[in-house]
Amino acid sequence: MTPLHFSYYSAFVITITGLSLHQTHLISTLLCLESMMLSLYIALSMWPIQLQTSSFMLTPMLMLSFSACEAGTGLSLLVASSRTHGSDHLQNLNLLQC
């Protein structure tokens, strides 16, 4: 395993651990998801360079656009939940209360 691969894998694992351990605020959960998507984007961007092909260039751009849509949706949910519930604590967000 090259140091480049190790850094991608370790960044992904660290963000998964952060996602599982820091579930108190919605913003920290969204930041962990964004860093996970960023590490996947960097790994997918470097993959065609390492294989010296140009056929996989669409995949990182597609993933980046999905990541941008996910970030926009997450931030709009954060704003909506903080307006209705008063904070971004995940314990206050009960899906059974409508």
Cα separation of 36 and 25, whole Å? 17
Confidence of residue 95 (pLDDT cuts 50, 70, 90): low
Confidence of residue 2 (pLDDT cuts 50, 70, 90): confident
Segments forming the whole domain that contains residue 88: 1-97
CATH number, domain at 25? 1.10.287.3510
pTM (predicted TM-score)? 0.77
The number of folded domains in the chain is: 1
Give me the residue label for tokens 């931030």.
Answer: 75
In the predicted structure, residue 98 carries a pLDDT above the cut 60? no
DSSP state of 24: S
pLDDT for 29-43, tens place per residue? 888 988 898 888 888
Cα separation of 11 and 1, whole Å? 15
- Cβ-in-10-Å burial (0-12, 13-18, 19+) of 62 comes to exposed
Structure tokens, 9: 């894998």
pLDDT given at position 76:
92
pLDDT given at position 17:
93
